[in-house]
Structure formats: structure tokens, C-alpha cells
Amino acid sequence: MIFEKLHLTGPGGSPYKLGEPMHVHDGARFLGTVEPIEVGPDRSEVRISRFSSAPSVGSGQRNFGPLLLVEVTLFLVERFRNIQSVHFNLRREIEVYGDGMMVAAARAELLRSIGATDVHARPQPDPSNPGNFVVGGAWVYTEDSLLALRLAVALQRDLYGESLARVATKKTGLPALRRFKRWWVRDDGA
């Protein structure tokens, strides 16, 4: 199976309505919810701040974060033509994924790659969880930023598809490869 894109819906699989929590699926697999997506009074800007993973998604399966961010952004600006800006305020506790500063830098670089401006990473003031950062920025609708966003989505889809293929190869290909190696070694020694 070849990965094409994430499937984004409203609650219960209904078509997504601006302002609702957004449910994210990879095929039939529920990945989690983007909540809340705040909508400005004139509906020309939205704010994305939090993704809550489904309980079935383990910490080792979180390789879809960059794809999620760009895919949701593209979905919103293509589906709702009146959206002129998307603001990011990414506050996920990230110390559990390794060096918080490196994760924050990668998120900031991802935002820059889609044409976001005013990109910043600041420590999250919570002494009980040191090493967490808030990464923010604003994506404004222009031809150049839309092109950058579409290129980033294509790249992240490819990277995610490759990671799925590697996992599938590890699950199915390794035993076959081991059997081949054993056969080869026995055949070579005879």
C-alpha cells in the first residue's frame, strides 16, 4: 500500500467544519485530534495549538508530526478560501522525545520551510517540566507561501511514506532476509 495523504474529518467522521476539533486518520487508523482550531471573528485567520494523540498511538509511532502540521495547514487554506493566515502556537511537552531544544529547532525550521514568518521558539515557563518550548509563527496566504506549503506537504508525504515502508520492511522483510542469509551461508559452505 502506498501512502497518499492523511484523512482529516470532523468528529465522528463527519466533514470538517471550521472551528471544530479536527480528527486525523492514516487510512483506517485514528491518529488523534487537533484541538482546538481557533477561528478569528471574520474567519480569515485560524490558530493551531495542540494535537492530542490517540491512546493507541505509542510514542515510537510519532513520526507523523511534521506531516500533520503541514497537511492540516494546507487542508485549511484550500478548503476554506477565506483563510488568509494560520497562526501556530505549538506547546506540546517535548522533553520525552529527546533534547527539547533540538525538537523546537526542527519545528521552527519546518514553519520557516512553509513560508511562515515571525517564527520563534521560547522556553515554556513550567518548572515542573524543564526542557519544553513553545514554537510559534504565522503563515500568511501569498502565492510564494502557498507554493512553499505545497512543496513541504509533498516532501513530508514522501518522508512519511518512506518511514511506513521501512517499518513494513522490518516487520515482513527481516525474517525473509534472515532465511536467505542462512540459506546462503549453508550453500556457500557446502
pLDDT in tens, 12-53: 999 999 999 999 998 888 898 998 799 999 999 999 988 888
CB within 8 A of 88, min separation 6: which ones?
47, 48, 49, 69, 111, 116, 135, 136, 137, 138, 139
Mean pLDDT, rounded, of the chain: 83
pTM recorded for the entire structure: 0.81
Q: What is the pLDDT of residues 155-173, one digit of tens each?
A: 999 998 888 777 666 655 5
Q: What is the DSSP string of 3-69?
A: ----EEE-GGGPPP-TTS-EEEEETTEEEEEE--EEE-TTSSEEEE--EEE-TTS-GGG-TTHHHHH
* pLDDT reported for residue 170: 62
Topology, domain 7-184: Aminopeptidase (3.40.630)
Q: Which of 107-111, 112-116, 140-144, 157-161 has the lowest mean pLDDT?
A: 157-161
Q: What is the pLDDT of residues 56-96, one digit of tens each?
A: 776 555 578 899 999 999 999 999 999 999 999 987 654 45
- Of the candidates 56, 64, 76, 85, the residue with the CA atom closest to the CA atom of residue 3: 64
What distance, in Å, lies between the first and last C-alpha atoms of the chain?
A: 40
